[in-house]
């Protein structure tokens, strides 16, 4: 792909994410600064509450749920994604879960329990596979 094509695609994706974040904020979801929500990500905003911190990236095919369809939800249940979290493609975050700061949710993971800060979780159900170096939030420690 040419340099022009990549730049155009990149700017189009940023534009769509900007309006997607604005839409979710308008619908009552709390979303922090500098967040990216893919056009193909799904935030369940019909019932319950979702809170997303600053610098969060949510990839295509991800589902962030605020309620389950078969049970009535309590009003105090809240799904929280804290600051600097990356949620990769086709992951599911179930209602009432808190994903800790600087954590990474691997592709295809189903997050059923709270995730501590500075970890990488993967699998179904999601389990901690790596500890992140608290000083460097970009790369997992070996």
pTM of the shown model: 0.84
Write out pLDDT tens, residues 2-31: 666 778 888 888 888 888 889 988 988 999
79 with 59: CB under 8 angstroms?
A: no
Write out pLDDT tens, residues 99-130: 999 999 999 999 999 999 999 999 999 999 99
What's the confidence (pLDDT) of residue 139? 47
What's the confidence (pLDDT) of residue 142? 40
DSSP-derived secondary structure letter, 24: H
Q: Domains (ranges, CATH) in the chain?
A: 3-131 (2.160.10.10)
pLDDT above 80 for 42: yes
Tell me the C-alpha to C-alpha distance, in Å, between residue 62 and each of 1, 57, 110, 135: 27, 11, 10, 28
- Tell me the catalytic residues: 42
* pLDDT over 90 percentage in the chain: 57
Our CA angle for 53, 55, 61, nearest 5°, is: 85
Cα torsion through 29, 134, 117, 25, rounded to 10 = 0
């Amino acid at each position: 792909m040419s340099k022009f094509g990549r730049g155009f695609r990149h700017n189009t994706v940023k534009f769509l994410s900007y309006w997607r974040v604005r839409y979710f904020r308008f619908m009552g979801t709390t979303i922090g600064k500098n967040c990216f929500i893919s056009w193909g990500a799904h935030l369940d905003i019909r019932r319950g509450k979702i809170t997303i911190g600053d610098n969060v990236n949510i990839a295509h095919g991800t589902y962030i749920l605020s309620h389950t369809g078969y049970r009535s939800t309590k009003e105090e249940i809240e799904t929280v994604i804290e600051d600097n979290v990356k949620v990769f493609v086709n992951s599911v975050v179930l209602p009432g879960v808190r994903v800790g700061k600087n954590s990474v949710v691997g592709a295809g993971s189903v997050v059923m329990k709270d995730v501590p800060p500075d970890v990488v979780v993967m699998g179904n159900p999601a389990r901690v596979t790596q500890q992140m170096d608290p000083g460097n939030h970009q790369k997992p420690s070996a």
